[in-house]
Amino acid sequence: MYSERVNIGLAGFGNIGSYFYKILEKNKIRISNKTGKIPFIKYISAKNFKKKRIVAIPRSKLVKRSIDLVYKEDVDVIVELIGGSDGPAKKLVLSALKNKKHVITANKALMAKHGNELAMLAEKNNVNLEYEASVAGGVPIIRSIKEGLIANKINKIYGILNGTTNYILSSMERKNKTFFEVLNKAKKLGFAESNPISDLNGNDSAAKLRILSSLAFNRSISKNEILTEGIQNINLTDILHAKSLGYRIKLLSISEIISNKLMERVHPCLIAKSSYIAKIDGVLNAVVVDGLPIGKSVLQGEGAGPGPTSSALISDLCSIMKGDISYPFGVSSHLRKNISKFNILNHRCSSYLRIEVKDLPGVLSSITKDFAKNRISIKNLIQKPNRKNKKASIIIITHENLEKNFKNLILSLIKNKFVLKKPTFIRIENV
User: 38 Cβ partners below 8 Å, 6+ apart?
Assistant: 2, 4, 5, 6, 28, 32
Rounded to whole angstroms, the Cα distance separating 149 from 49 reads 42
Quick check: 280 pLDDT over 60? yes
Write the pLDDT tens digit of every residue in 235-246. 999 999 999 999
Q: What's the DSSP call for residue 161? A: -
Q: What's the DSSP call for residue 58? A: -
pLDDT at 403: 97
User: Is the same domain home to 119 and 147?
Assistant: no
Range of lowest pLDDT (166-180, 321-335, 397-411): 321-335
**Alpha-helical segments (H) within 38-158:** 87-98, 108-124, 141-143
Write the pLDDT tens digit of every residue in 183-214. 999 998 888 888 999 999 999 999 999 999 99
User: Is the same domain home to 228 and 170?
Assistant: yes
Residue 277, in any domain of the structure: yes
User: Is the same domain home to 179 and 75?
Assistant: no
Residue 51, in any domain of the structure: yes
Dihedral sign of CA atoms 248, 249, 255, 256 in order: positive
For residue 292, give the CATH number of its domain. 3.30.360.10
Residue 16, in any domain of the structure: yes
List C-alpha distances in Å: 310 to 74, 131, 336. Answer: 23, 12, 29
Residue 71, in any domain of the structure: yes
pLDDT at 54: 75
User: Is the same domain home to 73 and 171?
Assistant: no
Q: What's the DSSP call for residue 165? A: H
User: Is the same domain home to 168 and 282?
Assistant: yes
Quick check: 68 pLDDT over 50? yes
Write the pLDDT tens digit of every residue in 133-145. 999 888 999 999 9
- Tell me what the mean pLDDT of segment 49-72 comes to: 85
pLDDT at 1: 43
User: Is the same domain home to 150 and 89?
Assistant: no
- Tell me what the mean pLDDT of segment 67-86 comes to: 95
For 302-311, letters b (16+ CB in 10 Å) and e give bbbbbebbbb
Q: Are 105 and 130 in contact (CB under 8 A)?
A: yes
Task: Tell me the percentage of the chain whose pLDDT exceeds 90.
Answer: 81
User: Is the same domain home to 255 and 375?
Assistant: no
User: Is the same domain home to 164 and 284?
Assistant: yes
pLDDT at 167: 95
Residue 329, in any domain of the structure: no
Q: From 59, 68, 53, select the one nearest 9 (Cα to Cα).
A: 68
Rounded to whole angstroms, the Cα distance separating 39 from 246 reads 51
Helix, strand, or coil (residue 100): coil
pLDDT at 3: 58
For residue 356, give the CATH number of its domain. 3.30.70.260
Catalytic residues, which ones?
A: 208
pLDDT at 399: 98
End of a domain among 66, 99, 130? Answer: 130
User: Is the same domain home to 221 and 287?
Assistant: yes
As beta bridge partners, residue 264 has 255
Mean pLDDT of the chain: 93
User: Is the same domain home to 351 and 400?
Assistant: yes
User: Is the same domain home to 374 and 274?
Assistant: no
Rounded to whole angstroms, the Cα distance separating 226 from 398 reads 24
Write the pLDDT tens digit of every residue in 249-277. 999 999 999 999 999 999 999 999 999 99
Domains of the chain: total: 3
pLDDT at 2: 47
Write the pLDDT tens digit of every residue in 89-130. 999 999 999 999 999 999 999 999 999 999 999 999 999 999
User: 294 Cβ partners below 8 Å, 6+ apart?
Assistant: 149, 152
Rounded to whole angstroms, the Cα distance separating 132 from 4 reads 25
User: Is the same domain home to 156 and 290?
Assistant: yes
Residue 180, in any domain of the structure: yes
**Dihedral angle of Cα 75, 76, 79, 80, to the nearest 10 degrees:** 70
Write the pLDDT tens digit of every residue in 365-387. 999 999 999 999 999 999 988 87
Q: Which is more confidently placed, 59 or 32? A: 32
Domain with 49, as residue range(s), is 5-130
For residue 95, give the CATH number of its domain. 3.40.50.720
Per-residue pLDDT band at 337 (split at 50, 70, 90): confident
Report, in angstroms and rounded to the nearest whole number, the Rg of the chain calculated over CA atoms. 24
Quick check: 46 pLDDT over 90? no
Range of lowest pLDDT (34-38, 45-49, 242-246, 310-314): 45-49
